Amino acid sequence: MTAPRTPSRAPRALVVLSLIGGTLFVLPLLGLLTETPWSRLGSILSDDIVVDALVLSAVTSIAAAVLSALFGVPIAWVLSRLQFRGRAIARAIVTLPMVLPPVVGGAALLFALGRNGLIGGFLNDVTGFSPFSVWGVILANTFVAMPFLILTVEGALNGIDRRHEAAAQTLGATDLEVFRRITLPMIAPSLKAGLLLAWARSLGEFGATITFAGNLQGRTQTLPLAVFVNLQSADREPALAISLILVAISLTVLVSLRDRWWGAR
């Protein structure tokens, strides 16, 4: 392709529409910034509620992203490489949480893994698992986040040149070696993108978490839950401060990681 990167004359209609659309994203940010109690921000940020939620969200969102990769990459590989009956249905089921309202997902998790759920009683007897715990939060986050990773990685697996894998196989590599030494490096950029998407989705997770894991400061109250609960109270300042943190973290990560991983444009 020899086309210039920047068109010499941008079509006016596209620019106008993009500006109108852009205000939809900029205005709420401005609204949040004007509501923020800037002068007291320091003391609010060191509030127990804020610190507890920040730590919990960091731990659970990273854990969910890692678990999503651990199980999501194999799922993507199976969906991409194996021919089997019901593959379309399987693909729909593992990406369902992207479309499902998270609160429905949370309720469904409770029906399965709550102590009166399908296997919840057994699980609790054997492992002591309770939804009202950090593990409950991680599980809910992984449930909603993993589909983003699966979709991204499966797309990459379908798109790469299969001749490299075939060549390695003819040279005597086992299937697992091919996957580790050829396939995985080839899809690395997409895997990173999937990890980032899954992590971002976890960080913002609300509905499934509060339905499945409840809301307790220091144990299951992540940043979004802390915002929701405190926005309802007479003292809204912690909620506003946390909202600001969420925006700052998300922007920083999205800007810096995008540039590092895909090259600045």
Partner 1 sequence: MRLGGFAVGGLALCLLATSCSARSDDDLVVFGAASLTDVLQAAEEQFEQDNPGIDVVLNLGGSNALREQIRSGADADLFIPADPEIMAEAIAAGDVDGPETAIARNELAIAVPAGNPADVQSLSDFARPELLLGICASAVPCGQLARAAFATSDIDPSLDTEEPDVRSLLAKVAGGELDAGVVYISDVAADPRVELVALKAWEQQSTTYVIAPTSGATNAAAAKRFVDFLQQGEGRSIIQQFGFGSVSR
Instruction: Indicate which single residue of 36, 95, 169, 215 sits in contact with partner 1 (rule: CB under 8 A).
Output: 215
Assess contact for 68 and 146: CB atoms under 8 A.
yes
Task: Give me the sign of the Cα torsion angle 191, 197, 201, 203.
Answer: positive
Of 15, 231, 248, 255, the one binding partner 1 (CB under 8 A) is 231
From 8-16, 76-84, 185-193, 207-215, give the range in contact with partner 1 by CB under 8 A.
Answer: 207-215
95-114 footprint of partner 1 as x/- string (CB under 8 A): ---------------x---x
| 131 touches partner 1 by CB under 8 A | yes
The candidate with the shortest Cα–Cα distance to 144, out of 68, 91, 69, is: 68
Q: Tell me the C-alpha distance between 86 and 45, whole Å.
A: 50
Report d(CA 125, CA 37) in Å as an integer: 47
Neighbouring C-beta atoms of residue 154, cutoff 10 Å: 25
Looking at 14-22, 149-157, 186-194, 216-224, which segment touches partner 1 (CB under 8 A)?
216-224
Q: Does 132 bind partner 1 (CB under 8 A)?
A: yes
127 contacts partner 1 (rule: CB under 8 A):
no
Q: Which is nearer to partner 1, 33 or 167 (CB)?
A: 33
Residue 128 or 172: the one with the smaller Cβ distance to partner 1 is 128
129 binds partner 1 (CB under 8 A): no
What per-residue string of b and e applies to 82-96 under the rule 16 or more CB within 10 Å gives b? eeeeeeeeebeebbe
Stretch that binds partner 1, among 14-22, 33-41, 126-134, 144-152 (CB under 8 A): 126-134
The secondary structure of 146-192 as a DSSP string is: HHHHHHHHHHHHHHS-THHHHHHHHTT--HHHHIIIIIHHHTHHHHH
Amino acid at the residue 204: G
Is 60 a binding residue for partner 1 by CB under 8 A? The answer is: no
Single out the residue of 154, 163, 198 nearest to residue 182, CA to CA.
Answer: 163
Nearer to partner 1, 137 or 182 (CB): 137
Residue of 69, 230, 241, 244 that binds partner 1 (CB under 8 A) = 230
Among 98, 100, 186, 229, binds partner 1 (CB under 8 A): 229
Q: Which one of 220, 227, 240, 241 is in contact with partner 1 (CB under 8 A)? A: 220
Closest contact distance (angstroms) between CB of 116 and partner 1 is 4
The residues, any chain, with a CB within 8 Å of residue 124's CB and separated by 6 or more, are 115, 130
Q: Which residues here bind partner 1, judged by CB under 8 A?
A: 110, 114-116, 130-132, 210-211, 213-217, 219-221, 228-234
